[in-house]
Amino acid sequence: MLWTAPPRLAVLHIVAVITGGLALDAWLGWPGQHLATLWACAVWLWLYRAGGSAERRLLVLCMLIAGFGEVVLSLVWGLYDYQFGNLPLFVPPGHALLMTLGVLVAARVPARLTARIVMTAGGLYTLYAWGANVDRLGAALFVLYAGCVAFGRDRVLYSVMFLLALAMELYGTALGNWTWQPQVPGLAMTAANPPFAAGAFYALLDLLVLACVSLLARSAVRPASPR
């Protein structure tokens, strides 16, 4: 999935809103969270207006699927908690922005090398994390990521998203925007803060979004059945 004509300075704006928005949320409390929401929605709308029909579907589907996933993982399952115990409104559009950043970056990195580095380094750390019982959730998530790579169609995007998500998770947890539970609720499984393979959720999100985009595209060109 490629943006045919990404708006100028899109990467800069996305990086700025993710890093700056999380900082506002962490440092200013509720007012900062509202400012981060307005900022994220403004950049999302800017990208929506600049994109074509395929890019717009990508942005909308990513926001909807990510929002549902956040409700399940955070509010229902309780894998992690945001600082005010809510689901910040900037999070769903923020996922769409991060995925757009991944799409733009993936078009500029060496595909095979990036995928191999992530798979090799992640696989080695998975063995350590599981054996030492320091982050078994992360180890299990890496298996999920490997499954996305094996069955998905855009391995370089999954690899880039794995790295971007890890960077964002480290940044967000360091600021205190959210905190992962040390034990997975309902399972006897340790988890780091953040799990090193939290990017697997983003790889799965990418796989689901791209699958939906492809399904919608096929439906649009499917000829009508004769009556």
In a domain, 35, yes or no: yes
Q: Decide if 226 is inside a domain.
A: no
- Give the number of other CB atoms < 10 A from CB of residue 76: 10
Is residue 176 a part of any domain in this protein? yes
- From 73-82, 153-162, 171-180, the region with the lowest mean pLDDT: 153-162
Instruction: Check pLDDT > 70 for residue 63.
Output: yes
Q: What is the DSSP string of 123-183?
A: HHHHHHHHHTTS-HHHHHHHHHHHHHHHH-S-HHHHHHHHHHHHHHHHHHHHHTSEEE-SB
Q: Is residue 220 part of a domain?
A: no
Per-residue pLDDT, 4: 74
**pTM beyond 0.95, yes or no:** no
d(CA 143, CA 149): 10
Domain assignment present for residue 224? The answer is no
Give the torsion sign (CA, 56, 12, 179, 116). Answer: positive
Range of the domain at 177: 10-213
Whether 16 shows a pLDDT value over 90: the answer reads yes
222, part of any domain: no
Domain total for the chain?
Answer: 1
Banded pLDDT at 2 (limits 50, 70, 90): low
- Number of C-alpha atoms within 13 angstroms, CB side, residue 158? 29
Query: Quick check: is 110 in a domain?
Result: yes
Residue 225 lies in a domain: no
Alpha carbon distance 65, 93 (integer Å): 11
Q: How many CA atoms lie within 13 A of 75 on its CB side?
A: 10
As beta bridge partners, residue 80 has 180
pLDDT at residue 226 greater than cutoff 60? no
